Amino acid sequence: MPHTPDALSIAPSDHPTMPSLLIHSPAGVVLKAAPVRRAARRLKALGFADVAIDESALAKHQRFAGDDDTRLAALHRVAQLAPGVALATRGGYGLSRLLDRIDWPVMARSVEQGTAWVGYSDVTALHLGALAHKAAGPDKVGEGVRAGFWAGPMACDDFGRDDSPEGGDDVTQEIFVEAMTGLLEAVGFRTEAAFDGLEVQGRLWGGNLAVVQALLGTPHFPKVKGGILYLEDVNEHPYRIERTLLQLHQAGVLAQQKAVVLGAFTAYKKSPLDRGYTLKAAIEHLRSVCPVPILTGLPFGHVPTKVCLPVGRRAQLVVQGRDALVLW
């Protein structure tokens, strides 16, 4: 894969069937280089055919991984190189600044050439923008196709941690490899017994709840009807989660879906004002006003163990007892 002298390249692995992988930083600043370099070594050890770090992945400008022009240029550069996998270093904040300027046909061509764009959290903005601007690829693909946009792990926290011999959760990494080799066709999880027998089909989409809300009413919010909407968030108190979900409900977004699947909502602080109000209470209230099935338990979000989800793919949600399965 072409790269500048400033980029880190790791020699090809012994697994020629594995895709190439390029690590880039489209959003928040990466404070230290060590996690990125550790992630590159780990990804090479997992068998990726060629692993490189984009030349501006470690750029710094305020809280961003380079100024807006730098990050925009990096996105377009990665798209033009069309690696097998374009993996974000981290989220944070920054992609919303770029949405009005992204060359969506360039992004679409990278998907046509086989690139899988992977990330979550703030990367949700890129996923939803791609859907809205018809750059995410077809909603129906043949077996073994990895190209498109994937909600999945990121380099620093999932492959570059210094508190784990593997750099991150081994289950997350195994699922990622399976997804990036075109073998992942479904993910399962445990949910409430109340949804036994549920079976719906629709386009799979969503991501970070705060980012989804932030794009509502903009040209970058996809108009998905009859979809399966998945959501997660971090550092948001249950009342803020409820308020955001209610906005999506009152805006008519939830009613247009076949189902809503909630992932992890983590790292919030309880308040003495809660007086028994919990995330469960917030979800129960939403269910009382929204007729669409709202499931919990999806292993996705700001948690060590997370699945990979193909954004925009036609999927099926099936529940038997408490066992839920999302297939595509």
Q: What is the mean pLDDT of residues 148-154?
A: 98
Annotation says 302 is catalytic:
yes
Q: What is the mean pLDDT of residues 244-257?
A: 98
Neighbour-count burial of 275, counting CB atoms closer than 10 A to its CB (0-12 exposed, 13-18 middle, 19+ buried) = exposed
Six-digit token string for 92: 């944070």
Neighbour-count burial of 182, counting CB atoms closer than 10 A to its CB (0-12 exposed, 13-18 middle, 19+ buried) = middle
Note whether 154 and 187 are within 8 A (CB): no
pLDDT surpassing 60 at residue 13: no
Q: Which residue, among 249, 255, 187, has the nearest Cα to 212 in the 3D structure?
A: 249
Identify the active-site residue in 232, 236, 242, 249: 232
pLDDT surpassing 50 at residue 6: no
- Look at residue 325 in the predicted model and tell me its pLDDT: 98
Radius of gyration (C-alpha) of the chain in whole angstroms: 19
Q: pLDDT confidence of 15, banded at 50, 70, 90?
A: very low
Q: What is the mean pLDDT of residues 303-327?
A: 98
Q: What is the mean pLDDT of residues 112-133?
A: 98
Query: H or E element: which one contains 7?
Result: none
Q: Which residue, among 315, 45, 301, has the nearest Cα to 153 in the 3D structure?
A: 301
> CA-based angle 284:225:181, to the nearest 5?
95
Each residue of 75-117: pLDDT tens digit?
999 999 999 999 999 999 999 999 999 999 999 999 999 999 9
Each residue of 262-277: pLDDT tens digit?
999 999 999 999 999 9
Q: What's the chain's average pLDDT?
A: 95
To the nearest 10°, report the CA torsion of 274, 277, 282, 283: 150
CA distance 131 to 125: 10
Annotation says 24 is catalytic:
no
pTM of the model: 0.94
- Look at residue 1 in the predicted model and tell me its pLDDT: 36
The amino acid at residue 53 is: I
Identify the active-site residue in 96, 110, 121, 127: 121
